[in-house]
Each structure stands twice: as C-alpha cells, then as structure tokens.
Amino acid sequence: MSRFVACRTLVLAIFCGLVTSQRDGMVFPDQISPRALGPPAEPPAADNAALLKKMPLLLSAVAVIASRIGENEERKNSKMAEQAVCKPSLKVVPTYEPNDPSIFFFPRCTRVNRCGGCCGNQLLSCEAKETETQNFEIVVAKFMGDRFEYQGKQVVPIDVDTECECNCIVKPSDCTPKQIYKPAECKCTCTNQDERQKCNEHEEKTWDPINCSCSCRSPHECSTGWFYDQNTCRCEQLPLSKSWFSSVTKETGYRFGQTQRPENAPPVIISLSDADDPRRKPKPDPEYK
C-alpha cells in the first residue's frame, strides 16, 4: 500500500511540475489566454524539431512510472510492451537478382543491419544517418539439363546502415512552387495565407493545402442556359446583352434583327456547274405551247 501511495505522489509531483512550467499555455473556461493579448510567439524551429526527436525518451519515462503503479487482476497476465527505438537491426535483403532464369545462386537472401523502429510521432520516420557498403560472397550455379554446374563465386555489394536517426517524413522536395518548407513542423505551408483566410470565410468553398487554391465544396452541372460560377459556387444564367450580340456580329458578320439585304452588299451568286441541271435549260414560251 505504501508503494502505491509513493507512486501516486511521484506522478502528482511530475504533473504539478509540468503545470508550473507551462502555466501560460493552459487556458481554463471563461479565461483569456495571455498569449492571445499579443502576437503569437512561435518557438525557434530547432526547439520544435528537437522536442519531436526527444519524444520517445519522454514517453519512455512515463512508461517506467506507469509500470510501477499497482496492477489489477486484468493486467496481472499482461506484459508491458517495449518501445522499438530507432536503431540498426537485422533485416532480410536479397543478395542478387540475375536476368538469366537458368542461373541459381546461394544464398538468395541474407540479413544485414537496416534502420527501423518508432520515433514517437507520426511526422517522423526512422532513417539511415550513416551507411557503408559491404561485400558478400555468393555461390553461382547454372542448371544444365538435369544437373547444376558450378560457375564459381561472385562478390555482391550490399548497403548496411550503421547509424540511424528520426527525421521528418515530408521533405523540402515534396513542396510545390507555391509552398515553403517548415522544418520545425515537418510540413509544407502555402505562401498565400491571405487567400486561405478569405477562402475559409466562405461557407461554400474549401481550401486545398496541396495546390494552395480555393475551390467550391460541391461543384455540379447546370441546365441549358446556365453555367456554374466558381466565384459564387452556384448556377448562374448566361448573359445575353447587347455587347454579346455585337461581338457575335463582328465575328460572323450576321446582323440580328435585320430581314432585308443591307446596302452596298453584293448579291449572292450561285454557279451551276452541272450541265444537266434543269435550271440551266430554257423553258418553252407558254404562248406557243
């Protein structure tokens, strides 16, 4: 019982220390945060990145404290999971891939150190910091009819990871021309934040963080005589103004509303190239018919 009370006291002391050191970051109901009174202060990028990389160590300390707290009947048969830290560990890799299907080699695969493990945050991944190339020997044989013929040994180079570290999954190369890379947040951010703010104020529009553009939430087709306006996000009637008629007149030469042939307009002449066309034959005079 005394051990349980001591553990509870230790957890309470750690919690109080966190609250005391970060009291400005905690906001209670009906209370204005002190940070809201002034411009938001972002910590340096290195501090944020360092905190993300230290996350596994901090969580491990919490797990150690939790393991010392008394267990109930349901947890007596369970085992505390261990964190798979980011470090080199044995992984299966192929040794060689020949192009000739009649060539066989041994061994087909082997185990070498490759980086693996968890980084304690979904924004980070375990990557190789130092890598060296090691040479391995394999036996090569060729299938000849009903038997294998020894072809000799072959040296194949294989990369081996010697040191690992947790880095951001999103890289600067993943950013588009309209984005900038923020290493402290491990993400790409759009540069046109003013357009993003205006887009979020519109109920019918949504912001695309990848293309850094604003678009309608649910565009749809419109009936004949209507078009979908990307500015209002609804169907609008096609305008038929005088300027529209004048533009069509200039492009086609057709004059709307005019039924007679305009002055100075040459008559339309249709040539009849076919000699058998009945319209080219003279008609008999009805008086002598």
For residue 274, the SS3 value is coil
pLDDT at 120 over 70: yes
Going by pLDDT thresholds of 50, 70 and 90, the confidence category of residue 116 is very high
Q: What is the CATH number of domain 87-169?
A: 2.10.90.10
- Domain locations in the chain? 87-169, 173-237
- At residue 10 the predicted structure's pLDDT band, cuts being 50, 70 and 90, is very low
Average predicted confidence (pLDDT) for the chain: 75
94 pLDDT higher than 80: yes
Alpha-helix residue ranges (DSSP H) falling in 103-142:
none
pLDDT tier at 35, thresholds 50, 70, 90: very low
- In angstroms, rounded to a whole number, what is the distance separating the alpha carbons of residues 69 and 137? 52
What tokens were used for 48? 């944020």
Supply the pTM of this predicted model. Answer: 0.52
- Roughly what angle, to the nearest 10 degrees, separates helices 55-67 and 45-53? 40
pLDDT above 60: residue 23 = no
pLDDT digits (tens, 9 = 90+) for 141-157: 988 878 888 999 999 99
C-alpha to C-alpha distance for 289 and 278, rounded to whole angstroms: 19
Task: Look at residue 28 and tell me whether its pLDDT is greater than 80.
Answer: no
Q: pLDDT digits over 154-205, tens only?
A: 999 999 999 999 999 999 999 999 999 999 899 999 999 999 999 999 888 9
Question: What is the structure's pLDDT at 79?
Answer: 80
The stretch 110-120 carries a mean pLDDT of 94
Q: Per-residue confidence at 39, pLDDT binned at 50, 70, 90?
A: very low
273 or 228, greater pLDDT: 228
Question: What mean pLDDT is predicted for residues 106-122?
Answer: 93
Q: Which long-range contacts (CB under 8 A, 24 or more apart) does 95-104 make?
A: 95/136, 95/138, 95/156, 95/158, 96/138, 96/154, 96/156, 100/142, 102/142, 102/143, 103/140, 103/141, 103/142, 103/151, 104/140, 104/141, 104/142, 104/143, 104/148
Residue 61 has pLDDT above 90, yes or no: no
Residue 102, pLDDT score: 85
Angle between the 55-67 and 2-21 helix axes, to the nearest 10 degrees?
150
Residue 167 to residue 117: CA distance in whole angstroms: 12
* Closest to 80 (Cα-Cα) out of 91, 89, 69: 69
Indicate whether 53 pLDDT > 90.
no
pLDDT, position 124: 94
**Secondary-structure breakdown of the chain: helix, strand, coil percentages, each rounded to the nearest 5:** 30, 30, 40
State mean pLDDT over 17-46: 41
